[in-house]
Amino acid sequence: MSKYNNKIEVKAKKFLGQHFLEDEAIAEQIADTLSLKGYENVLEIGPGMGVLTKYLLKKPTTTYVIEIDTDSVAYLKNNYLNLTPRIIEKDFLKYDVSETFKEEPFAIIGNFPYNISTQIVFKTLELRDQIPNFPECFKKKLRHVFVLKKAVKSMVFFRS
């Protein structure tokens, strides 16, 4: 974490695959992808400095965030005081979501790091009965991988 003009900033860490969302318009568009149907809770994975979080907090849901980076957690605690009790300082891939949500439905959202996006999708699929809404935001490269795999599966399916 560094201080710049009295503003605390978190530096993206390559080893965590971090890429912080900075565009406010995109953050608001991502937040607006929530259907708001069938759940009252939202879990944001990897909120970083909370650019998306601020728009989620305006929604008629209860927002939780899960963040592995201690600098980002400190930033969130300093800048989103009302969110502090709902900041989960853990690795989403290793976290048992029933600790927070029991068996209640919840949505998952985030601007996911490329290096763990596939694992996030697989974990979300394991929880699909509990997650009615998963408006994901992947880097363009990963979206192409998913589209290509889907196209290949379709081609294989139709050849049979």
pLDDT of residue 69: 87
Structure tokens of 123? Answer: 């974990």
pLDDT of residue 116: 77
Cα 3 to Cα 6, 22, 57, 63: the distances in Å are 6, 17, 25, 27
DSSP SS3 for 118: helix
pLDDT of residue 137: 55
C-alpha span between 114 and 100 (Å, rounded): 25
Is the Cβ–Cβ distance between 43 and 96 less than 8 Å? no
Structure tokens of 158? Answer: 């139709």
- Dmax (CA) for the chain in angstroms is 63
Is the Cβ–Cβ distance between 30 and 109 less than 8 Å? yes
Tens place of pLDDT per residue across the chain (160 aa)? 444 333 567 775 565 555 666 678 888 888 898 999 999 999 999 898 888 999 999 999 999 999 988 888 999 999 999 999 999 999 999 999 999 999 999 999 987 766 777 888 889 889 989 998 887 554 444 444 444 344 333 333 333 3
pLDDT of residue 76: 93
Which residues are CB-contacts of 40 (< 8 A; sequence separation ≥ 6)?
A: 61, 62, 104, 106
C-alpha span between 158 and 93 (Å, rounded): 34
| Structure-token match 């080893």, residue found | 15
Cα 156 to Cα 26, 122, 144, 150, 152: the distances in Å are 36, 22, 18, 10, 6
Query: Domains of the chain by range and CATH?
Result: 13-159 (3.40.50.150)
pLDDT of residue 74: 92
Is the Cβ–Cβ distance between 19 and 111 less than 8 Å? yes
